[in-house]
Chain A
C-alpha cells in the first residue's frame, strides 16, 4: 500500500471523526441543517472532482442529475406509495441509466462543446421539472414527500439524518480514494493529460470517461434522493443551471484535483452565506469578494492553500525548535 493511499485513509478517518463529533458540538438544529446540506453538496462535489479534476471532463448538468433522482424518488414514494428505501434506490438507478445514455454520445465532445452539451441536458431536465405539472407539481413544487427512513424506521430527528448522510459521504469518499489509487485512477489522470497518449498506452478512453461520468452522476443522484427525503419538499428552482455552476465553483475553489479540497469547497460555499447573513445588505458583495480573493491568492484552491499554510507553520516550528 502506497504512502499517499495511507495518507488519504488518514484524512478520511479524520473526516469521519470530525463529522461524527459535529452534532455534539452544534447547539441547535439550525447548524445541523447547514451541515446536512453541506454533506449533500460535498457528495456531488466529490464526484465532480473525479470527473473534472482527474478525468478532465466538464459537466454543467449535474444539478439535473441531482434533481432527476430527487423527483423520481419523490414521485415513487409519494404518488405510488412505494417504500422510501426502494424509491431512493430507483431514483439512483434511473439517474445512472440516464447518465449512461447522455454520456455515451456527449463524452465524444471536448472542452466547450462538452460543457454546452451537458448544459443543454441540465436545462432540458429543468424545463421538464417545471412543465410536467401533473407529475412534479410544476414550479410551485412537490409537497408531502415522506421523510427518510431506514429499514422501516422513519428518521424524525435531524441528528439521525445527519449521521446517515455523513456516513454515506465517508463511504463515497472511500470509494473515490480507491478508484483514484487503482489502475482506473492512473488511467483517468493519463487521459486528462492527453487522450491520444492514453490510447497509445492501451487505455479504453471512451469507457473510462463514461465510467467516471456515470459514477459522478450516481453520486449526484444519491445526494438528490437524500435531499428530497430530508426536506420533504422539492421545487425546480433548486435544480437549475445556477446550481450546476455553484457545484463547479465548489470543486474549483477546492483545488480541482483534490478530493479533500472538493469537500472543503462544498462546505465553504454552503456555510459562508450563512455566516455572512449578519452583514445583511452587503452580504452578496462580501461573498463575491471572498471568492475573488480566494482565487487570486490560492490558485491551487483551498486544499493547496491549506497545505502550503501547514508547510509554512511546520518550517516555522522547526526553526523555532532548532533555535530553542
Chain B
C-alpha cells in the first residue's frame, strides 16, 4: 500500500518535471565571445544572459520559462558552422540569435532554411537580408541607413564634392559600396576614393592625396582604431575639411583613442549612444533607459550598441512568442513578420515578408563630438 503510494507520488513528480521541462522555450545563440570580434560578442552574451534571467523572473515568455543555449564561435567560420549545427540538430532550439559577424551569418544561413528554424542575426551586412531569405532576419541598422543619414546631413550643409576613406575589411568595403552607390544616385561628386588597411598606423598619405583634390567633406568608414588615426592625422596635417565618421566608431572608446582630434566630428549613431538626450516622449526612451540601467548595474561596464543588437533580437523573439502564443519555429517566423512598430534599442522594428531588417534611416541620429562627449545634432 505504502509502496504503491510512493510509486504514485514518484510518477506524479516525474510527470510534473517532464511537463515543466517540456514547457521551456529553447533559444539558441552563437556569438563571438572570444577572437577578433570579441568586442561584439562579449556584450551580446552578457545582454542575453541578463535578459534570460529578467524574463524568467517575470514569468517567462507566454508563461513558459526560457532556456538559453549560448555558444562561442571564437570569430571563426568553421566553429560557427559547428555551433549552428549543434543548436539545430542536437539542442533542437526554436530560434537562434546571432552570429555577431556577417561572414559567419552568411556561412550558416543555408542550414536554417533547410531546418526551418528562424535566425535573427546581430550582423549588419546587406547580403544577409537582401534578397530576403524567409528564415533569416537581422537587427542592426544597415550601412545604407547610416550612409543615407550622412548624405542627408551633407546635402543640408550644401556640400557637393565628397571624398571617401574606407578600411579594407568587410565593414569598410560594404560601406564603400553603399556610399559610392548612394552618392552617385543623389548627385554628389565623388572626387576621391581612398582605402587603408585595418592594421595601418598612419593615414597621412591618403589624407594628403585627398587634400590635393580639395573636397568639401570627407567620409571615413571604419571601426576602431583606424578612424581615430585618421582624425589625428587630419589634425596634424592642419586639414579643415569637415570629417564624417561612420556608426562603427559610435562608442566612448573612439573619443578616448582620438582625444582632442575627435572634437567637432559628426557621425550617425543609434540613440543608445546619447541616452540622456533622447526626448522623454520618444517611443524608444523606456526600452533604452531600462537596458542601460540593467546592464551597467550588473556588469559595471559601459554600454555598447553591439549588445543592443542582441537585446533587440531577444525582444523580437519575446514579442513574436507572446503575440503569437506559440514557440514553434514556423510560428515564431510567421509572427516575426507580423511585428510592427516595436521599439528596440537600435530603432523601431517593423518586419514584413519582404523586409527582414525592419529599420530605416530614422534609427540613426546625427551626433557631434563636443568637449569629449556626444551631442545630438538638432
A interface residues (Cβ-Cβ under 8 A, vs B): 27-30, 33-34, 37, 130-131, 133, 138-141, 143, 231-235, 237-238, 273-274, 277, 280, 283-284
Contacts and interface: CB of A to CB of B under 8 A. Distances in A.
12 contacts: A30-B82, A37-B82, A130-B168, A139-B170, A139-B173, A140-B174, A141-B106, A233-B106, A233-B107, A233-B110, A235-B77, A237-B103
A37 B85 contact: no
Contacts of B170: 138-141
Give the one of B83, B85, B103, B107 with max A CB within 10 A: B103
B90 A28 contact: yes
B125 to A, nearest CB: 6
Contacts of B79: 273
A133 B180 CA distance: 15
B110 A30 contact: no
A142 B213 CA distance: 35
Contacts of A141: 77, 102-103, 106-107, 170
B89 interface: yes
Contacts of B77: 141, 231, 233-235, 237-238
B103 A139 contact: yes
A231 B104 CA distance: 11
A277 B107 contact: no
B72 interface: yes
A140 B107 contact: no
Interface string B36-51: 0000000000000000
B90 A30 contact: yes
B76 A237 contact: yes
Contacts of B81: 33, 231
A235 B103 contact: yes
A133 B175 CA distance: 13
Contact of B82 (A34, A130, A131, A284): A34
Nearest to A273: B79
A179 to B, nearest CB: 29
Interface string B66-81: 0000011001111101
B173 A235 contact: no
B85 A140 contact: no
Interface string B125-136: 101000000000
Given A28-B90, A33-B82, A140-B103, 14 more contacts: A29-B85, A30-B88, A33-B81, A138-B170, A138-B173, A139-B169, A139-B170, A140-B173, A140-B174, A141-B103, A141-B106, A237-B76, A238-B78, A277-B86
B34 interface: yes
Nearest to A133: B173
B87 to A, nearest CB: 9
Given A34-B82, A140-B127, A232-B110, A28 B89 contact: yes
A273 B76 CA distance: 12
A268 to B, nearest CB: 15
Contacts of B71: 277
Contacts of B173: 133, 138-140
Contacts of A235: 77, 103, 107
A3 B110 CA distance: 48
A51 B179 CA distance: 48
A30 B125 contact: no
B131 to A, nearest CB: 11
Nearest to B198: A139
Interface in B50-76: 71-72, 75-76
B125 A140 contact: yes
Nearest to B111: A29
Nearest to A156: B114
A140 B124 CA distance: 11
B85 A33 contact: yes
B176 to A, nearest CB: 9
Given A130-B168, A131-B168, A280-B72, A231 B90 contact: no
A37 B78 contact: yes
A130 B103 CA distance: 12
A220 B223 CA distance: 34
Contacts of A27: 90
Contact of B106 (A133, A140, A237, A274): A140
A267 to B, nearest CB: 14
Contacts of A143: 106, 127
> Which residue, of A140, A238, A274, has the highest number of chain B Cβ atoms within 10 A?
A140
A10 to B, nearest CB: 32
Contacts of A140: 102-103, 106, 125, 127, 170, 173-174
A139 B125 CA distance: 12
A39 to B, nearest CB: 13
Contacts of A280: 72
Contacts of B72: 280, 283
B166 to A, nearest CB: 11
Contacts of A131: 168
A284 B34 contact: yes
A215 to B, nearest CB: 25
B107 A231 contact: yes
A280 B76 CA distance: 16
Interface string B143-172: 000000000000000000000000011100
Contacts of B127: 140, 143
